[in-house]
Amino acid sequence: MTLQEKDAAYLWHPYTQHKTAATPIVISKAEAALVWDENGKEYIDAIASWWVNPFGHSNRFIADAIYKQLTSLEHVLFGGFTHKPAIDVAEKLLQMLPSNQQKVFFSDNGSTAVEVAIKASLQYFYNKGESRKTIIAFEDAFHGDTFAAMAASGISFYTLAFKGMFIDVVRIPVPVAGREEDSISTLKQVISEHSCAAFIFEPLVLGAAGMVMYEPEILDQLITICRENNVLTIADEVMTGFGKTGKTFACDYLSVSPDIFCLSKALTGGTIPMAITTFTQEIFDGFYSDDINKALFHGHTFTANPTGCAAALASFELLGSDEMQANIARIQNNHKAFLSRIGNHPRVKTSRTLGTILALEIKTESEEAYYGTLRNKLYDFFISNGIIMRPVGNIVYILPPYVITDSQLQTVYQTIEKALAEVY
């Protein structure tokens, strides 16, 4: 049997309808911004493999750190024990985050980072004897696939089968240009009508919704309204974290700081699954008690895995290097130049960029007829041209590894222009 035949025999892929999906491509090697399939065909990874590896594939610096850790302390339970890699990650991360962030909680993936944030918010009020059970979230939000994260997510095709089984979530509009007042007034109304525990949001960029962007000034206002009403604020930076928006965190563009941060993608440079939720001292103190029942009863077997921590520490070092910061600035400038060239193209309906993220919404003659099929045609077009991109509906976006070269980036831009001319 070929690998593809064995895959079909044994595997169940994520987000995949196996009856209609194309046969998956077998990837055998990857380096920096390039990946190769089993036949030696080369692809540019224009989306950093689901936004996880900004420093490039098969990074030697991270690999060496992992090997060193694996051969000294690969894992130890985090209940009743601690270790230097976890302490170092916490210390370094808290220096990078806004100063109100004081406590670091480890888990395994973006969804669990969100799950921890939501559970801690609900229990924070429970511990105080206050009944606050509603979570506020954006329409079109994506926060992950575990139950609370799924409840907070607004993209309905992910969650349809589970309707009616969720914690209480109320939605407010994303404050994109023209909807700012609507978003603010809906938030005020929601807070007055429900007992809200927390507001969770993707700061400045909603990734899975198609890199939908909004301004920091409005998020400042939304957070301030929450603060005035004792509603906790949760920044889901799982996608935006670690340089993607041009600053270390999207929240670095804000003048007020959220109470909780969720981090995962890119935390270990795309090597080892790990996630972190960080909290203010005030929230931590809400669990600090002689009463065992007030503890946060949440944990995962691989919590603070030392190998993952070593990968995170190496990633922090790479992110902070002059070379990587120069790469981020370079991509940012290239994106701006490309947008000024392509923004007025007759087939481009809307376009936007922030940091290393760029998105174009392609005009379709009839939304109904073209929506699904155009997406698949674009995907196939990019793959056949040696570029890995995953359009969301008719939105094409780039979020490349920071180590992508200028000529690779130009190839991606040119292929997008070719797609605008040829794919209908």
DSSP for 320-343 reads HSHHHHHHHHHHHHHHHHHHHHHT
How far apart are the C-alpha atoms of 36 and 195, rounded to whole Å? 52
Which candidate, 278, 281, 273, 263, places its Cα nearest to that of 319?
Answer: 263
Rounded CA-CA distance 42/59 in Å is 18
> CB nearest ligand PLP: which residue?
110
Nearer to ligand PLP, 237 or 286 (CB): 237
Task: Specify whether the CB–CB gap between 206 and 174 falls below 8 A.
Answer: yes
Asked if 352 is part of the footprint of ligand PLP (rule: CB under 6 A), the reply reads no
390 marked as part of a ligand binding site? yes
Helix (H) or strand (E) holding 260: strand 260-263
- Shortest CB 58 distance to ligand PLP, Å: 20
Looking at this protein, which amino acid is placed at residue 34?
A: L
* Nearest residue (CB) to ligand PLP, 205 versus 310: 205
For residue 153, is it left (φ>0), alpha (ψ between -120 and 50) or beta? Answer: beta
Residue 110 makes contact with ligand PLP by CB under 6 A: yes
Helix, strand, coil proportions of the chain in percent (round to 5)? 40, 20, 40
273 vs 286, which CB is nearer to ligand PLP? 273
Tell whether 300 is in a known binding site: yes
Residue ranges in 190-209 that form contacts with ligand PLP under rule CB under 6 A? 202, 207-208
* Bridge-based pairing state of the strands 348-354 and 357-362: antiparallel
Quick check: 109 binds ligand PLP (CB under 6 A)?
yes
Q: Which parts of 142-161 interact with ligand PLP (CB under 6 A)?
A: 142-144
Per CB under 6 A, does 259 bind ligand PLP?
A: no
Nearer to ligand PLP, 208 or 419 (CB): 208
From residue 190, give the alpha-carbon distance in Å to each of 234, 242, 335. 17, 32, 38
Min dist CB 392 to ligand PLP, Å, is 12
| Dihedral sign computed on CA atoms, order 127, 133, 137, 142 | positive
Q: Which two tokens stand for residue 94?
A: 């808290």
Residues forming beta bridges with residue 34, ordered by sequence position? 31, 44
Identify whether the C-beta of residue 31 lies closer than 8 Å to the C-beta of residue 59. no
Segment interacting with ligand PLP (CB under 6 A) among 61-69, 70-78, 110-118, 319-327: 110-118
CB-nearer residue toward ligand PLP: 396 or 419 = 396
Using CB under 6 A as the binding criterion, the count of chain residues that bind ligand PLP stands at: 15
56 part of the interface to ligand PLP, by CB under 6 A: no
264 binds ligand PLP (CB under 6 A): yes
Q: Is there binding between residue 328 and ligand PLP (CB under 6 A)?
A: no
Query: Segment contacting ligand PLP (CB under 6 A): 71-79, 139-147, 187-195, 247-255?
Result: 139-147
Q: By C-beta, is 283 or 357 nearer to ligand PLP?
A: 357
Footprint of ligand PLP on residues 213-252 (CB under 6 A)?
236, 238-239
Q: How near is the Cβ of 264 to ligand PLP at its closest, in Å? A: 5
Q: In what order do the strands lie in the sheet with 387-388?
A: 27-31, 34-37, 42-45, 387-388
Asked whether position 114 contacts ligand PLP by CB under 6 A, the answer is: yes
Q: Where are the alpha helices (DSSP H) in 213-356?
A: 216-228, 281-285, 306-320, 322-342
Contact footprint for ligand PLP (CB under 6 A): 109-111, 114, 142-144, 202, 207-208, 236, 238-239, 264-265
Q: Per the annotation, where are the binding residues?
A: 50, 110-111, 236, 265, 299-301, 390
- From the annotation, which residues make up the binding site for substrate? 50, 265, 299, 390
Annotated binding site for pyridoxal 5'-phosphate: which residue ranges?
A: 110-111, 236, 300-301
